Amino acid sequence: MSEQDLVDNVEEVPLSEEGEIDVEQETTPPAEPKNIQGKIKSLKDAIKKSRWNVFLLLGVSLVMFGFALFPLTMSVPYDDLWGTSEKDIGYVWGPSSPGEDFLDVPFQLEVEIVRAPSVADNVTLEVYVLKAKDCLDLSVSELEVIARGGNSHNNQFKSLESPLEGETYTFDFDLDMGHYCTKVQFVDSKGETLKQNTKLSVKGKLWPNQVVTGLPGIVFLGLSIFAFIGSQKKSAKLKSILEKRKVSEEQLILEAVSAEKIAQGPAGPPQSADGPTGPPQSNPGPSGSPQEQKKSGPPQSMISQDSTTSKRSGPPPTSSTEQVEVQNQEMPESANTDQSTFEPAGNGYFYRKMPDGTYEQVIYVQSADGTYVPYQQ
């Protein structure tokens, strides 16, 4: 292949293809930096871990609160022979120190008066919670005296005067860690136990885990709140990064589209606002002689006279037809001799661009010999 052929091949490359190649290169967004992609990935992983931590901490705190809020229930039996309700509570655990403090274990007794004593006056309902391993021990009586004095937190005492039959009374206590027993009975004004015609129904509730699991539950709940706040901050940071990346991509697309429009240039010649949209339509006139109509008119003598006159083979040519023929003969010569150019308008039609840059308001078509002639319908 010669050098001239190579030059011709290079010259034959259309401008539109070069423009398309440039536009494609411009529209291709640049590769994102690896540090930004790695940052987005690390943020997504961190958000996922934070959410799992929130769920885990919430679950642990719910389990802790479940142990802390649900009590251990018990029933204190009533002894008809002795006229008392006694029960060994057992060992109460908890981190409380000796004395009354907020770490004490709550204990509640619900006493229902099923049948009150027949004595109408000076009846007292006594409730004891004593720090002893056995309610039948002889030392319990001494502990009752100490409890009635009200100076000991280990031995507690509460009473109610003139209880009513059919009513239920609630007594609350706060216990330190240790072994306890409870005792409920009716006494008269002398302090003697009323045994005849009496009956009590006593139920107890103990919350030994309220402090042991309640405080850790609060701690886990606080940690879950902090984990949720951290997750929200990371989500907001990731959202801002993605929005900035989206805005940059939109700017690149807009710049590429504007560059493509500039590279393509105008779509065609300016459209004329005035003037006809095509050449004037010619009136070719009648295509033959008028048809003769049969009439019952003049006599035969008139017809014989007319036959001597000269006859024409067709109608006379019209002036409009002559003007169009003259224009068709003159226009191609002038169109091909001056410096004007013909630009395609589509569908085989051409515009004539004058040397001064204006367009002639006539539509042309290309004939078989390569010349341009005005379009005729």
Are β-strands 105-115 and 124-130 bridged in parallel, bridged antiparallel, or unpaired? unpaired
More confident residue, 250 or 132: 132
Per-residue pLDDT at 315: 44
As beta bridge partners, residue 127 has: 158, 184
**CA-closest candidate to residue 140, choices 86, 202, 77:** 86
Is residue 191 scored above 50 in pLDDT? yes
User: 118-141 burial, b for 16+ CB within 10 Å, e for fewer?
Assistant: eeeeebbbbbbbbbbeebeeeebe
pLDDT class for 44, splitting at 50, 70, 90? confident
More confident residue, 242 or 12: 242
Question: Look-up: residue for tokens 């229930």?
Answer: 73
**CA-closest candidate to residue 64, choices 231, 176, 222, 205:** 222
Whole-model pTM over 0.75: no
Cα separation, 356 vs 201, whole angstroms: 120
Cβ 367 vs Cβ 345: under 8 Å: no
- Greatest distance between any 2 Cα atoms in the chain: 176
**CA-closest candidate to residue 129, choices 99, 113, 152, 101:** 152
* 3-class state of residue 217 by DSSP: helix
Per-residue DSSP letters for 37-80?
HHHHHHHHHHHHHHHHHHHHHHHHHHHHHHHHHSPEEEEE-EET
As beta bridge partners, residue 374 has: 364
Reading the block at residue 325, the tokens are 């023929």
Burial class (CB in 10 A: 0-12, 13-18, 19+), 300: exposed
137 φ, ψ to 5°?
A: -70, 145
Cα separation, 126 vs 115, whole angstroms: 15
For range 13-19, the mean pLDDT:
43
Contacts of 324 (CB under 8 A, 6+ apart): 282, 376
pLDDT 10s digits, 70-100: 888 999 999 988 889 999 998 888 777 787 8
